[in-house]
Amino acid sequence: MNALIIDDSRAMRRVLRRIVEPLGFAVTEAGDGQEGLNQLSEMDAVDLILVDWNMPVMNGIEFVQAVRADTKRRDLKLVMVTTETEPMKMARALMAGVDEFVMKPFTSDILVDKLRLIGVGSF
Amino acid sequence: MMYLDEETLTQVTSDICTTMLGLPMYPVYDGLVEHTPLTAQVRISGEWNATVEIATTPKVATLIAAQMFSLDPSQIQTADLYDALGEVANMVGGNVKGIVNGELDLSLPSVSERDTQTAGAVGETTVVQMICLEGPLIVTLSESN
């Protein structure tokens, strides 16, 4: 299984990597949405994307919209990891094609439960 | 615009440190005398402008980074300290932004080796002092232009 982690915070990328690698994911990292799109275009198969909302260059929503615009990527599981809690913003993210949210701060159990909820992996 | 009192700011910070990092943290009300030369800052801007600063010692920042990255403290490099403290500021700022609500943006965190500075504050300032891993962690929320 392959996971793409997109966050401008190197710290958060490391935290997320530490959680998903033991679940069997091979992890690729990107520091913003545009870099994420570039990485995605070079990956043969992606099972999961964990993406931050607030990032420079291209934010998480713009990234999700770009991914969902590609019909080949419609089934890809997208989880937004964010501090955003405003209902209108969350609704906007869901409309854009986010499958699930993980609110910062979170525990590894919370993230793993969310992945189970959207049917990623068999852990 | 709603403003955060000391109790709420303490709760936000404590939740982040205990939930995400598993670190015990408790507030101190009598004033800390220890120097806190490492500061991470994020700015909230939009309908309401404010700065959130997290100040601590290199020792506490090292232990936070070790916990965040599951490394031994001896393996922590300076860049790790900055990353970890910046991420704590980012999460505190993000949660403050969520509580205040409104059309607001959060800046990327910046970390520097200096004490907390609230010179740009023009309105309410809330300061909470906590003990985290036997050392000080000071959170300052200050309204700004």
Predicted ipTM of the assembly: 0.74
Domains contained in chain A, CATH given: 2-117 (3.40.50.2300)
Confidence of residue A30 (pLDDT cuts 50, 70, 90): very high
Q: What is the mean pLDDT of residues B41-51?
A: 93
Q: Contact at 8 Å (CB) between A118 and A107?
A: no
**CA-closest candidate to residue B132, choices B4, B5, B36:** B36
For A47-82, how does the pLDDT look when each residue is reduced to its tens digit (9 = 90+)? 999 999 888 899 999 999 999 998 888 789 999 998
What pLDDT is stored for residue A58 in this prediction?
A: 93
- The predicted pLDDT at position B16 comes to 87
Structure confidence at residue A40 (pLDDT)? 93
Contact B95 A83 (CB under 8 A): yes
CB-CB: which of A11, A18, A106 is closest to B87?
A11
Q: Do B87 and A9 touch (CB under 8 A)?
A: yes
Nearest to A15 among B68, B86, B106 (CB): B68
Which residues lie across from A13 on neighbouring strands? none
Instruction: Tally the domains of chain B.
Output: 1
Domain span at B62? 6-143
Residue B132: per-residue pLDDT: 84
Q: What is the pTM of this model?
A: 0.83
Give domain status of residue B1, yes or no.
no
Tell me the pLDDT tens digit for each residue of B69-117.
Answer: 888 999 999 999 999 999 999 999 988 988 887 788 889 899 988 765 5
Query: What are the E-state strand segments in chain B?
Result: 25-28, 38-46, 50-56, 104-106, 110-112, 121-132, 135-144
Residue B44 belongs to a domain = yes
On chain B, the residues whose CB falls within 8 A of the CB of A11 are 65, 68-69, 83-84, 86-87
Strand partners, B138: B55, B129
